[in-house]
Structure 1
Amino acid sequence: MKSQSFRFLMMGQSLANLGDVLYIVGLISILYEVSESPFILALFPFINMFGRFSSGVMAPLLLDQYRLKSLLVFSQVSKTIFLFFLLLMIMLQGVPHIIGVLAFVLVIAFLDGWALPASHSMLPRLVEKSELVKANSFFAVVNNTIQIGGWALGGVMVVLIGGQQVIWLTFVLFVLSILLLVKLVDPSPFHVEKVAGRVGKSIKEGWNTIWKNPLFRSIHVVIFFEALANVVWIASILLVFVSEILQESEAWWGYVNTSFFVGMVVGGVICSRFANSIELHLKKLLIIFSFGTSIVTLLFGFNTIAWFSLGFAVLNGIFDQIKGVAVNTYLQKGATAEELPKIYAAQGALIALVFGVSSLFFGGVAEILGVRIAFLISGLLLLVAAIYVAVHHHQFSESLLDKS
């Protein structure tokens, strides 16, 4: 992995993701001061994911017309501009209107919607196929290490200087990200396709590829259930869990988040260290860690001891990371360079839609039935996903990767 462009991609996206974490921490802090309602807090991820879904639907059209690098840079520049206007609104209003804040959240999420499929699809273009597990693991370790610092830094800075100043730091990180991403060099050839009826075909192409390929279809069934279930780990639900179940201060909200990302870093290191062995046992690992995330989520939800919650969060991060590396490796090795961006675009739209609707559902569950019931439902959904993987294990055969 000596590619300079891979390093620019990794560093640029990591800074952008760090900025996204600080942006979330700052806005949640501001919204919490205004509303103090779990449902209102859950509106933030709902609006965010609705914007990503809308963008994900349109992403295939852009992927047909523009280079991946151009989409990455344009997305980051546009996000930076609108973040600046959001900051101006917050400064001028003092106590911002919730609707105004959520409107900017929607626009920024829309602009961010095609960045994920573009960056994921570019990665296999910058490294050898034999290095994909290692590259995915390394990318994950660096990103999650930065996110650990982001949650810790964001939590401390919110207390010391307030949410508004934390969002200003996001603005600076976004600018730095742009400077790195413009240095990327995409070695793959690119041709604009101008065919009658291409618009409709482009929008459906990723979905059709997923549906017709047994491996891709099975992967996205699992992703669907996980998108439903993983809502309980969003910051707004965790904040309620820490307050009502663990009965600890907001500082423990940061500790739990940090523990989760520590687990993800450990999982990424494990994948990087044992990349060859993991590549040989992708199917087994996917099954084992699918059941593992279900069990850990249930244990976390029924636990009342704060220190134990940190251990469960670490385990969940490890299991989730290894499972994620396995899934990405399956997709990146099984799809062609032309198919991969469309698959990731469809995947992003699917996750955004399901996650957004689910965030409202779990926000309502947490407020009406209690946050512990929310974790119970989440654990059961993850169990369904794990059983699906076990029952359909033949569709995850490594022989399906020979397409690459």
Structure 2
Amino acid sequence: MIRRSFYYLWGSQTISNVADIIYMLSVVVLVFSSSNSLMTTILIPLFRLSAQVLSGLVAPIVLGRFRLTRILLFSQFGQFVIFTLLLLYLWITPDQRSFLFIFVMVFGMSFLDGWTNPARNALVPRLATGEGLMRANGMVAVSDQVVKCAGWALSGIIVAWLGSLNTLVIASCCYLVAVTITSFIRDPLDQKELSPESSEFATSGSETAKAKEKGSHWKELGEGWQIIWHNRRIRSLMIVDSVDTIGGTSWLGVFILAYVTQVLHQDASWWGFMNASFFSGTILGGLLVVGLVKRLQRNSFLYMLGALLVYVLITVVFALNTIPVAALVLFAVSGLPVQMAGIIRRTLLQTSAPAAQLPKVMAGIDVLTNLAFGLSLLFLGWYADRFGMVQVYLLAAAMTTIAVLIGWFYRRDFQGSEQMDHPTATGAGI
């Protein structure tokens, strides 16, 4: 079953993602055109990543003390306010702009945005249950990929047509619409039943909240990590995901560009074709999951391992291939198993912990994912320079094979019931 509030969540997050892409591209173009410095422009994603990592570290405290719907609303409204201040500043000072002020605004927006992803992923299993959960995750994945695929291209056209400042106005309107839609989301769970700490913290004048021990903050920060480590299902999924990420990072744009030039001996235009084909494959993979949800619901963990095995075979052929058209087709086809495995893994994570623990678990998972991604990026960059792109993709296939073997070892943990019971509060519907 999928509740109406899920569609509000889905719509608000999709519009917010569109706004993020528009604003980021506009700010990058504006800073680069004003400074003519690539080094200065690089500071934008650096501030953004730093803010999200810091936000992820403190997220367990926030997620454990406030309602998820309030966190989403506060996060998006806060981003809208900061973005509006940034927009007004850029309009008022067209000539002498402080890049430091722009970077601080980007940092503030990214810090608030760092709470959105774990809150969203924890809300989805409350708003969609049974077969509806995997279908909901598939819909979210498809919309994310569509936004990524079309968003950057359309944003570039809009920026070139209207200019950076006018494009930022469009982004501001998108943020406002997202905030409005988010206000309609209703969490079916009674937060008081889930976590006594949440209700006592929500009341600012509560004497109980004032009496909380100082060490409780550190305890809350580590609670999600403890759950991940002691819950065998979550721990096995994270091990599989972390090992797979080592090779999966090789599909990042910079590595694809190197593959296109070094292996296929084509110009940068093929880089764009490759990215478009991969996004098309991931969109198709998400739609396939939505259509086959009843079949995938049974033995979903084994289907995930099967999808990863298909991905391994495609990656090996991709690594050894030197025909550009064949590479384009293989890259598109690889998007199907990658997306299927990702959606199933997210669904299994969401159903492997009680609703009260899930927000903190998701916050810890986000930190682990970002850490694994960063370390993999550094390692594969060195490996590519040392051994070449063919060996990089053969290594990617080898690492995913190891991930599948590890998953096969843990398969018994996923036999039987895969749906964690998420109780709903009486009368707490939409």
TM-score range, shorter chain: 0.7 to 0.9
- Determine the structure 2 residue equivalent to 1:129: 130
Kindly indicate whether residue 250 of structure 2 is the aligned counterpart of residue 232 of structure 1: yes
Kindly indicate whether residue 69 of structure 2 is the aligned counterpart of residue 69 of structure 1: yes
Shift of 1:205: 1.4
Mapping 1:194-205, distance limit 5 Å: 194=209, 195-196=212-213, 197-205=215-223
Q: Which shows bigger deviation, 250-259 or 153-162?
A: 153-162
- Determine the structure 2 residue equivalent to 1:119: 120
Decide whether the 8 Å contact of 2:316 with 2:393 is kept in 1.
yes
Shift of 1:135: 1.8
Q: Which shows bigger deviation, 146-155 or 234-243?
A: 234-243
Choose the corresponding residue for 2:307, options 289, 292, 300. Answer: 289
Kindly indicate whether residue 271 of structure 2 is the aligned counterpart of residue 270 of structure 1: no
- Structure 1's 292 and 51: CA in aligned 2 closer, same or farther, altered over 3 A? farther
Distance 2:333 2:84 in 1: 37
Deviations 1:252-307 (A, max 9, x none): 44433332222222112211111111011212211111223334344445544443
* Amino-acid identity (%): 27
Shift of 1:178: 1.6
Shift of 1:117: 0.9
Whichever structure has more helix as a proportion of its residues is 1
- Determine the structure 1 residue equivalent to 2:55: 55
Q: Which shows bigger deviation, 353-362 or 159-168?
A: 159-168
Larger radius of gyration: 2
Decide whether the 8 Å contact of 1:210 with 1:343 is kept in 2.
yes
- Structure 1's 51 and 244: CA in aligned 2 closer, same or farther, altered over 3 A? farther
Distance 1:31 1:246 in 2: 34
Choose the corresponding residue for 2:231, options 201, 213, 218. Answer: 213
SS of the equivalent of 2:179 reads helix
- Structure 1's 21 and 131: CA in aligned 2 closer, same or farther, altered over 3 A? same
Q: In the alignment, residue 142 of structure 1 is paired with which amino acid? A: S
Shift of 1:64: 1.9
- Structure 1's 306 and 258: CA in aligned 2 closer, same or farther, altered over 3 A? same
Mapping 1:139-150, distance limit 5 Å: 139-150=140-151
Q: Which shows bigger deviation, 241-250 or 337-346?
A: 241-250
Deviations 1:184-236 (A, max 9, x none): 12222123515534312211111111111111100011222234333333344
Decide whether the 8 Å contact of 1:151 with 1:257 is kept in 2.
no
Q: Which shows bigger deviation, 125-134 or 210-219?
A: 125-134
Shift of 1:140: 2.3
SS of the equivalent of 1:334 reads coil
Q: In the alignment, residue 124 of structure 1 is paired with which amino acid? A: P
SS of the equivalent of 1:128 reads coil
Shift of 1:108: 3.4
Distance 2:388 2:126 in 1: 46
Decide whether the 8 Å contact of 1:152 with 1:254 is kept in 2.
no
Deviations 1:63-117 (A, max 9, x none): 1221111111222233344445666788868899998876655443322111111
Q: Which shows bigger deviation, 339-348 or 139-148?
A: 139-148
> How high is the TM-score relative to the length of structure 2?
0.79
Mapping 1:303-322, distance limit 5 Å: 303-322=321-340
Mapping 1:5-404, distance limit 5 Å: 5-23=5-23, 48-83=48-83, 105-157=106-158, 169-191=170-192, 192-193=196-197, 194=209, 195-196=212-213, 197-242=215-260, 245-246=263-264, 248=266, 250-363=268-381, 374-399=392-417, 401=419
- Structure 1's 73 and 249: CA in aligned 2 closer, same or farther, altered over 3 A? farther
- Structure 1's 81 and 289: CA in aligned 2 closer, same or farther, altered over 3 A? same
Q: In the alignment, residue 139 of structure 2 is paired with which amino acid? A: F
Decide whether the 8 Å contact of 1:298 with 1:376 is kept in 2.
yes
Shift of 1:349: 1.1
Q: In the alignment, residue 146 of structure 2 is paired with which amino acid? A: T
Distance 2:240 2:338 in 1: 13
Distance 2:12 2:363 in 1: 20
- Structure 1's 30 and 367: CA in aligned 2 closer, same or farther, altered over 3 A? farther
- Structure 1's 282 and 241: CA in aligned 2 closer, same or farther, altered over 3 A? same
Root-mean-square deviation (Å) = 3.6
**Structure 1: gaps (5+ residues):** none
> How high is the TM-score relative to the length of structure 1?
0.83
Distance 1:35 1:112 in 2: 27
Decide whether the 8 Å contact of 1:300 with 1:313 is kept in 2.
yes
Deviations 1:123-164 (A, max 9, x none): 122233342122222232333333332143235446666777
Q: Which shows bigger deviation, 78-87 or 105-114?
A: 78-87
- Structure 1's 294 and 48: CA in aligned 2 closer, same or farther, altered over 3 A? farther
**Structure 2: gaps (5+ residues):** 198-208, 423-430
Deviations 1:382-402 (A, max 9, x none): 333222212332233244546
